[in-house]
Chains A and B, each alone.
Chain A
Amino acid sequence: MDAKKLLEALGSVTTVSGFEERGHGQVKEILAPYFDEIAPAGVAGLACISRCGKENAPLVLIDGHLDEIGLIVTDIKDDGLLTVGSLGGIDRRTLTGERFIVHANEPLFAVTVKKPYCMMNGNEQRKTPSMDDLRLFTGKTKEELTALGVKVGTTIGYEKNYFSLSDDLFFGPSLDNAAAAVAGTLAVEQLKGKERGCDIALLLSSQEESFGAGFKTGAFSLDPDEIFVVDVDLGNTPETDKNKTVTVGEGPSVALSVQTDRAMTRSVIDVAKAKEIPCQPILNVKSTGTNASAVPFLMGGIPCAVVSIPLKYMHTPAEGISMKDLENTGKLLAAYIEERYGVKEAE
């Protein structure tokens, strides 16, 4: 399995936060070869199930949110330019001169425009443009846009361009959180052909970037026994605090937090050590900033650990990860599941 190809394929599907169902068909098609069944779960989520073949087997849930940050049309101006709002925490410092796709009846290329920098006064130059300062320009007139189905509420996503800067470093939009779906799939692939005593559900949940509705409802409908929340973690760069970040290329991060289960988290780290899989424990004392925030309130209480792929430039069109980290995330999930639910050969 080519992880890079799978990542690019999944990243390229349009799953703007709150509008994930639009991408369900494509995601199903891409992941069908790796799972026994794929079905809707909870609010706009997809559950990709890998069965162990045993009855009443426990279920390990691997959550990887499906949604990506994007924009939404708030008005079509008389000159055909679109005003937009953000879906999820888009970084406005990256919106100047950016290409997007408007999800009309046919995909429309659009470019952000704003008051030219050289026309701004000093105060304007020092401020990041607000969403109100930006317009999206498609070249079409208002009438043409309306005829193409563009209206208030139409979603807009990044143009999906992926690139490598080395064999290992891979960049592009929406790796948050396509990387998690790939990690989960890699784990299932690693476990193929090995006898185990648990089913695995990769939950591609909705709305992590906005309201979190997908994880809570998806997990409820699957009723898991253990949960891995797989997300991306802040990778350090110049200007970032070492204590608040992890290093891209040094393995998946494992969150140490009151939101997660201490014993499960410990055993994840122990497995990593035993199997010599690099991993980076990171303190997220009160909050992991992931779907795990909902776990303490979930049903009757379920053990949960957070394992993340280090990622630089989060919420920009050039998010960057190490492919080695991604593979090691898959390995670590598989190793934990094998350690805990694997059936040892009789001696």
Chain B
Amino acid sequence: MKKEFFDLLKSLSELFGPTGCEGRVADLIEASLEGIPCKRDAVGNLIVHLEGKGKKILVTAPMDEAGYMITDIDDKGYVRFEKTGNADNGCFAGKRLTLGNEKELISAVGGVKVLHLAGGEAGDTPATDKLFAETGLAAEELKKKLEKSDFAALEGSLSTLPGGYLVGKALESRALCALMIEAIKEMSGKDEAERNDLYFVFTVKEKAGMSTASAAAYTIRPEEAYLLGFAPANDFDGVDEHLKGARLGEGVVLALKDRRVLYFDSPLTERALGMAKEQGIPAYGADMASCGDLSAGALHLVGAGIPCASLRLPCRNPETNRVIVKENDLENTLSLLCALI
């Protein structure tokens, strides 16, 4: 992996950008585009248009990470939350968090009733209304910086493990942003006459199921769309094959269906799998029934309907502070995306 790409991924991964507060991520992406023109739409999506003579194609990647909204700050400075997406409350207590809004960022630690007093509750994933966090600041001071409706996300730094693995928070969305930046850079170097008419949309609020990509699609009206997403991996020794989901290191996943969309009829998915085979890029179709909060759910119904294919990056521990992805999966996803568009 090139150092520049690792550095880009690291900066993207470590940024605070829970659902509803993605501005910092959009800013960094804009800076990483090194002058390639982009604009923000009314909901906060960041859009890059590379004009071309070919087909009008939309590519999307989500910017947000699983997070929480602040619902209360009590008189001792303890903060309470509500989920904004599908965060795993099993990944909160004892973790370092960042609380923040568009201006402020404050370090915090997540808590739950201590084990020794929890009794039977210790065997349950804590309910969101039982979770809390503290910042070390007195309530008065904290309330000057944060208020109800501000946000919280897990903190984490990107690191590597042997065997070509990357570990960090928010990789299930930010790795996709990094790949899309790379794809934009690659496509921007091509001659307009040879190029499709490409729209790249970095979306907000995906994890809340808002599917803001559909807003972009409504304006753009593409002929086809490629959605970058993550494929959860349960690929451990001993798990039944049909329950493993994605497998790290075995290539790009083309979702055959998910919770909201059936892709079986889409010639686009067939085309993607065919293209992968032709180019020697490892890829496989898989049932992503468990994981459907993708933009495609609403996007494929925009206007008279838009043909979609869902390219997914295999992830272990998605939506935790330690998401694990494999380098060759990143490379293969990028290669396949570039080949397709």
Contacts from A to B (Cβ < 8 Å): 77-79, 81, 89, 91-99, 109, 111-119, 125-129, 135, 137-141, 144, 163-166, 169, 171, 234, 237-241, 244-245, 289, 312-318, 320
Give 25 A-B contacts (CB < 8 Å), ordered by A residue: A77-B237, A79-B235, A89-B115, A93-B122, A93-B126, A96-B88, A96-B317, A96-B320, A97-B322, A115-B234, A116-B233, A116-B290, A116-B317, A117-B320, A118-B232, A118-B290, A119-B245, A126-B125, A127-B125, A139-B165, A169-B136, A238-B132, A312-B111, A313-B93, A313-B109
* Chain A residue at smallest Cβ distance from B169: A97
Which residues of B from 287 to 341 have beta carbons under 8 Å from A?
Answer: 290-291, 315-322, 324
- With both beta carbons as reference points, the residue of chain A lying nearest to B259 in the complex is identified as A118
Min CB–CB distance A139 → chain B (angstroms): 3
Q: Which residues of B contact A91 (CB under 8 A)?
A: 93-94, 115, 122
Distance between Cα atoms of A197 and B222 in the complex (Å): 88
**B316 and A113 form a contact (CB under 8 A):** yes
For B165, list chain A residues within 8 Å (CB): 137, 139
* Chain A residues within 8 Å of B95, by CB: 94, 97, 317-318
CA distance A141 to B315 in the complex (A): 19
Asked if B86 is at the interface of the complex by the 8 Å CB criterion, the answer is yes
Indicate whether A118 sits within 8 Å of B86 (C-beta atoms), given known contacts A165-B136, A234-B116, A238-B78. yes
Q: Which residues of A contact B237 (CB under 8 A)?
A: 77-79, 81
Let me know if A314 and B245 touch, CB within 8 A.
no
CB distance from B92 to the nearest CB of A (A): 8
> Complex Cα distance A241/B163, Å?
47
Considering the complex, give the chain A residue whose CB is closest to the CB of B235. Answer: A79
Verify A93–B117 contact, CB threshold 8 A: no
Shortest beta-carbon contacts, A-B, top 6: A165-B136, A316-B94, A139-B161, A97-B320, A116-B232, A166-B136
Q: How far is the CA of A42 from the CA of B253 in the complex (A)?
A: 58
Q: Distance (Å) between the CB of A227 and the closest chain B CB?
A: 23
**11 further interface pairs, Cβ-Cβ under 8 Å (given A109-B159, A137-B161, A318-B94):** A115-B234, A116-B317, A125-B88, A125-B125, A128-B122, A128-B124, A165-B134, A234-B116, A238-B78, A312-B111, A313-B114
Asked if B162 and A139 make an inter-chain contact with CB atoms under 8 angstroms apart, the answer reads yes
Per the bound structure, the CA–CA distance linking A96 and B239 in Å amounts to 18
If A138-B162, A314-B116 touch, whether A166 touches B88 (CB-CB below 8 Å) is no
Per-position 1/0 for B201-236, Cβ under 8 A of A: 000000000000000000000000000000011111
By DSSP majority rule, is chain B's interface helix, strand, loop, or mixed?
Answer: loop
CB distance from A88 to the nearest CB of B (A): 11
The residue in chain B whose Cβ has the minimal distance to the Cβ of A93 is B93
Interface positions, chain B 131-166, Cβ under 8 Å from A, are 132, 134-137, 154, 159, 161-163, 165
Residue from the set B94, B122, B163, B232 with the largest chain A CB neighbour count within 10 Å: B94
B167, A237: Cβ atoms closer than 8 Å = no
In B103-126, the 8 Å CB interface with A consists of: 107-117, 122-126
- Taking CB atoms, residues of chain B closer than 8 Å to A126 are 124-125
> Looking at the complex, which one of B93, B317, B322 makes contact with A94 (CB distance below 8 Å)?
B93
Question: A residues within 8 A CB of B134?
Answer: 165, 237
Q: Looking across the interface, which residue of chain A has its beta carbon closest to that of B137? A: A166
Residues of A with C-beta under 8 A to B280? none
Cβ–Cβ < 8 Å partners of B187 in chain A: none
Given B107, B163, B238, B320, which contacts A139 in the complex, CB threshold below 8 Å?
Answer: B163
Interface residues on B, range: 35 or more
The interface residues of chain B lying within 8 Å CB-to-CB of A240 are 113-114, 117
Chain B residues with CB below 8 A from A129, complex form: 90
B136 near A234 with CB under 8 A, answer no
Nearest B residue (CB) for A76: B237
Residue B96 is within 8 A (CB to CB) of chain A in the complex: yes
Give complex CA distance A118, B266 in Å: 25
Contact B78 A165 (CB under 8 A): no
CB distance from A196 to the nearest CB of B (A): 36
Contact of B109 among A96, A135, A141, A171 (CB under 8 A): A171
Least CB separation from A135: chain B residue: B236
Evaluate contact between B132 and A244: CB separation under 8 angstroms. no
- With both beta carbons as reference points, the residue of chain A lying nearest to B97 in the complex is identified as A318
- Flag whether B268 is at the interface (Cβ < 8 A): no
A93 contacts B132, C-beta separation under 8 Å: no
Which residues from B are CB-within-8-Å of A113?
A: 236, 316-317, 324
**How far apart are the CA atoms of A139 and B249 in the complex, in Å?**
12
Please tell me if B91 contacts chain A, counting CB pairs below 8 Å.
yes
Among A99, A238, A313, the residue within 8 A (CB) of B74 is A238
A60 to B167, CA, bound (A): 49
* B130 beta carbon closer than 8 Å to chain A: yes
**For the complex, what is the distance from the CA of A234 to the CA of B114, rounded to whole Å?**
8
A238 to B133, CA, bound (A): 9
Please tell me if the beta carbons of B318 and A116 are within 8 angstroms of each other in the complex: yes
Of B114, B122, B234, B245, most buried by chain A (CB within 10 Å of CB) is B114
Complex: A82 Cα to B141 Cα, angstroms: 45
Report whether B74 and A93 are in contact in the complex, using a CB–CB cutoff of 8 Å: no
B84 to A: closest C-beta gap in Å:
15
With a cutoff of 8 Å between Cβ atoms, the chain B residues found around residue A81 in the complex are 236-237
A139, B165: Cα distance in complex, Å? 7
Residues of B within 8 A of A127 (CB): 123-125
What residue in chain A is nearest B109 (Cβ atoms)?
A318
Complex CA gap A250/B315 in Å reads 45
- Chain B residues with CB below 8 A from A140, complex form: 162-163
In the bound complex, how far is the Cα of B318 from the Cα of A240, in angstroms? Answer: 31
- B contact residues around A78 at 8 Å (CB): 237
Write out the residue numbers on chain B whose beta carbons fall within 8 Å of the beta carbon of A317. 94-95
Task: Indicate whether A163 sits within 8 Å of B96 (C-beta atoms), given known contacts A92-B122, A111-B324.
Answer: yes
A98 near B322: Cβ-Cβ < 8 Å: yes
B86 touches which one: A95, A115, A117, A165 (CB < 8 A)? A117
